Structure 1
Amino acid sequence: MPAPALDPLREAVTALAGVWADASTAADLDRSDLVAVTCAIGSARRALDALQADVAAAIAHESRPELGADSLAKQQGFRNTAQLIATTTGTSAGDAARLVKVGEAIAPRQNLLGEPAPAKYPAVQAAVTSGRLGGAGAALIVEFLDRARIGTDKTLVADVEQQLVERAVGLSLDDVRRLVTRAEAVLDADRLEAREEERRAQRSLSMFERDGMLHLNLITPVEEGAPIKAAIDGYVTAQFQARKDTAGVVDADGADADQRTVTMMRADALTLFCAHTLDCDSRMPVSGATVIVRINAADLEAGTGYGTIDGIDQPLSVTAIRRMAAAGGVIPCVLDSAGEILDWGREKRLFTRQQKLALVDRDGGCAMCALPPHMTEAHHINWWNRDTGPTDLTNGILLCSTCHHRIHDNAWDIRIENTEARSGTRGRVWFIPPPHIDPTRTPRPGGRARYDIAA
């Protein structure tokens, strides 16, 4: 008689073979068949997990320490059960150890009298052996239950086990992990605060420079990290929305298209938020932190050489220095040929709240990509320090961080046409592309006026 554990595996393989009967590769399958194949593969994998867990438990029993030299693992030339399984199946030792735990948790047992007894976790056993729950998900649940059963009412643990298994069937491993986290909060409610204090004591932020890059490694409790994640995720979402909204107006060759990855956007978000903190009227407690950029006046004028930032070892190009000089919260320090200070940039060069509101009325948000106003900053068209540009509306423009960099990095020009005097309407913003993008340098409309329709 065939082993019951093999029945789910046979059924999955039969279903898989039926879908592939008339196809040689996955490209020959239609959409419904692709989904059917994926489901059959999942069923086969879960059935194999059940079989492998059962075998792993048996190997562990035959390799128990008290057997000494007669241990199955040692006879096969391995130090322990996990090493034997990991080597023969191509998994890690950690995965093998978890597989053994699942196998032992769902294996039939005997009481002290040698009579049959239920498995350690009968609900997990039923779900795994029937092929409804995979090995990885079962391992998460078993590891949690092993922790939770210490000092906890067994009836409560059994009830939580049943609920976990019922909810875990059909979920991804990430979702099973979330389920376990919620269950842990239910069973360990009295210990949550103590654990939070333990995690909070482990928070840290390390920073170091290597190969011209600043590396950050942040470890923080989730309650304190939640605002960080929410803010960064919100920025990324807004960037993708802006990309979608402007998909039809980018250059045909895609030269100006926002092609940043999500990780790049996250890095840009953190940079933007920190720059905003340095530039904010209501300063946050950053101990007077200010970014000071130093560069030789001749290099700044000619676009050659390099500059430095106080406290940072890596030199920066003149292009990067100019871009930083146009941002808020940065004090440019211009030096003569002997290194003497010619001019300290002024930190307070910000547009007033009323001016920003007027810019929002004119530009509607980012004047280039139409990102919402709260994701933009007011920038000087003629730089405040280099060009002695005034802080007034005809020299101001709302730009998001991406477009700000795009304009400076690719040598775009901006022109503000003040039409208020002759027509009573708001001013118009024009972006003039560089010759390598448009040899004729035909101005492109920007700001809210590009959507205005004359009556």
Structure 2
Amino acid sequence: MAEQLSMLSASIDELLECDLTTLRDADVLEAMRRLEQSLRRADAVSHRLVVESVERSIPAALGYSSPNKLLVDVLRVSAGDASTRIAAARSLGVWHTLSGDSINPAMPETAAAQRDGTIGPSHARAVAKVMRKIPHAVDNDDVSHAESILAQLARTGTPEDVEQAGHRILAYLNPDGNLGDDRDRKRRRGISLSRQDSELMTRISGELDPTARALLDPILARWARPGMNNPDDPESPRGDSEDPTLDRAALAAAAARDTRSAAQRNHDAFSAIFRVLLETGVFGRHRGLPVTAIITMTLDQLEQAAGGLATTASGGLLPLEDALKLAEHAHPVLVLFDHSGRPLRLGRRRRLANADQRLALIAAEGGCTRPGCAAPASLCAVHHVTDWQRGGRTDIDNLTLACDACHAQVNDGSAGWNTTSTRPESEFPGRTEWIPPPQIDPTRTPRINHRHQPGELIEHARATDTRRRWLRPTERGAR
């Protein structure tokens, strides 16, 4: 071990002295990837050392009441960091019985992925966070299978992808709901305003229930957009960003000057909204659709009218009962899907998509389709998979959602991304694939964003193990 650590230290010394200025752009990115893989594998070695120290009772022998305090002193890490490392070792490390026999890790598939270097500590924490929420009544086989699915997703996705899929898995494992009942939500809801301080500022605190959050998200998407309603910029456009009379060039210039934080933009948006509510009481439209909470649910959920979660255009989750209450006075829109979850043909000859097509895309895509992007549908534009100027039609099977930032990355330049659709016989038929530039991925392997569609991966896993009752697909006839 000492020899290997000496070699590792020597290698790091050499890496620190390497001349990075001679590397090509592609070499810099490849070095990042290889270093990240090595660091992830090193964490697995750290787990082994923690296990060894605990099983030898080294902390107790040195007078420590817990291994956490040993790590704080030996490694000079924070108490929170030490706690995180110990928790990771407990769930990912290989422990032993008194007779010396090995015990499989509590999360074996996740541990294997980290040993391979394909996932990092944040991925593992995301898996562990979901696993802790699984009710004890769930049988061990289903618990094991859930961990396997999350580890598989972690190998190709981000920690946020894992958490999103975890919400869906928890809903399958506990369809009656374990996310807090309506009484808890009613008790916790509230917004408090403090007294004005010496600088006449008022602190706001509180919690919104799912219905209030679903109503708020689509409003902030317009009014808190960078460049809008900036009180520190006299030339900043006022009102909402989708006003047809708005000078788009002025908005772009104001956005470039905008240095406010997201919290400050939210504050300024509230201020502007309050003003408009008092003066006009009108919000207008957003990206061609009314400012409203757009909720997606399956026909099966609608028929059961209990349990499960509906989704909003802003990427949020809403208990089905609350979604149905919101729908009591709403104008329902029926969108039919094929067996792959793709909307049936809804074509247009003109360039711009209409409101019906946008609603269909919101239900089908859920948000920006570029891999790794978490932007919800409320912040997305309609993008032609095959560009309109190259003969791409405004048909539903040639349309997808992309946020403004990702949309701008689709171009013919050397650093541009390209989009295409998967073939009917592919693993995920009809989905939008994004092809990265060679600087990001030398192989230019097409990628699919599952962030807004965690059910796809769950159903794919179900196909390999049909014994799991909680992984049976829901009816895909309508949403």
Bigger radius of gyration among the two: 1
Question: TM-score, normalization: structure 1?
Answer: 0.48
| Larger relative contact order, structure 1 or 2 (CA cutoff 8 Å, min sep 6) | 2
The TM-score, its normalising length taken from structure 2, stands at 0.46
